[in-house]
Amino acid sequence: MTALTPPERVAIVEVAPRDGFQSIRDPLPTADKRRCIEALLDAGVTRLEIGSFVSPKAIAQMADTGDLVAAFADRPGVRLSALVPNLKGAELALAHGIREVVYVVSVSESHNRSNVRRSPDESLEDLGRVIERLRQTDGTRLRLDLGTSFDCPFEGTVAWQSVDRVLGKALELAGDLPLEVALCDTTGRASPYQVADHFTRLRERHVRPGLDWAFHGHDTFGMGVANALFAIHHGATAVDSACAGLGGCPFAPGATGNTATEDLIHALHGGGVETGIDLPTLLEAADRIAALPGGQTASHLRQVPRDRVS
């Protein structure tokens, strides 16, 4: 038995502006989104998935992503990223000043088709083009989100070998481009030991300079915090979460609720882990986000008497 010791620091990637807002059907006023993002930055958030450069026909809620990038791109010390489903999205993101492009491929065929209407291999082909485009712009980096890395709403449990296959191809394409790979528990059904197993096996097989690992989870099955900590113990240096637990995946039935940033922060700060985030201020941001019309939130910390939070 080895004692589970906390790492010195974990990077929190706040995804409420993308995965969270996206779960709200009726487009929110851009000014409201800006106030929420300001509140997140006030709390010390330094990595922010600010939106998605997708067709407004597909997701109307993301139509103002360019405006949000423009509003926050010059904030010192803030690392913005934006999700893109294809080369066109990547072009738009770069044109708007985004330097970290989040590209999603779902490991499971049926989820990838449901999400972006093509096979994982077709998504990988397009990833090749995105990578070529990123190479032409200095200072760019890629965040690769491997959706359904543990479980698929249509196909059930996903084997690590399936993740390995998609990841291997993506890494071949990426060459030496700075890259953070996120294993995404899209449905929230992964168990902590499965998270540990996938991280262990994949990190053993794929080692190269400039390759970092991250975890993206949902708390649907109550595994949110445990899965994140198990991922961290097995090499993830960044974890996605959404303030107030806003979110869900519109294409993954039953996948309500990103893991709440405040819950994760409570867990990490309890071990003295540095996150740069001030929890009481983050809870003010969570209150603001929870007050947005049409949102579904899932935060434990917000329900605790505020004087019990530190």
Q: Which of 168, 175, 271, 280 binds a second copy (CB under 8 A)?
A: 271
**Of the ranges 26-34, 114-122, 139-147, 268-276, which one interacts with a second copy (CB under 8 A)?**
268-276
280 near a second copy, judged by CB under 8 A: no
Alpha helices in 137-260 (DSSP H): 160-174, 192-205, 224-233
- Token pair, residue 295, equals 């949102």
152 is catalytic: no
Q: How far apart are alpha carbons 233 and 303 in whole angstroms? A: 28
Contacting residue, 168, 254, 280, 294, with a second copy by CB under 8 A: 254
Catalytic-labelled residue, pool 36, 184, 243, 249: 249
Least Cβ distance, residue 228 to a second copy (angstroms): 8
Question: Is 2 a residue that touches a second copy (CB under 8 A)?
Answer: yes
> How far apart are CB 246 and a second copy at their closest, in Å?
15
For residue 39, the minimal CB distance to a second copy (Å) is: 21
Strands 156-157 and 151-152 turn out to be antiparallel
User: In the window 136-175, what residues touch a second copy (CB under 8 A)?
Assistant: 153
Window of 38-46, 53-61, 226-234, 236-244 that interacts with a second copy by CB under 8 A: 226-234
Number of residues binding to a second copy, judged by CB under 8 A? 50
Residues forming a β-bridge with 83: 52, 102
Q: Which is nearer to a second copy, 169 or 269 (CB)?
A: 269
Listed in sequence order, the residues at least 6 apart from 2 whose beta carbon sits closer than 8 Å to its beta carbon are none
Type and span of the H or E element at 126: helix 120-135
Task: Give me the sign of the Cα torsion angle 194, 195, 200, 204.
Answer: positive
260 forms part of the interface with a second copy (CB under 8 A): yes
CA distance 62 to 58: 9
Cα separation, 138 vs 229, whole angstroms: 34
Q: Which two tokens stand for residue 51?
A: 């939106």
Is 59 among the residues that bind a second copy (CB under 8 A)? Answer: no
Angle between helices 30-42 and 279-290 (to 10 degrees): 170
- In the bound state with a second copy, the residue whose beta carbon lies nearer, of 181 and 252, is 252
Which stretches of the chain bind a second copy, using CB under 8 A? Answer: 1-6, 153, 187, 189-194, 196-197, 200, 219-226, 229-230, 233-235, 253-254, 256, 260, 263, 266-273, 299-301, 303-305, 308
Residues involved in catalysis: 249
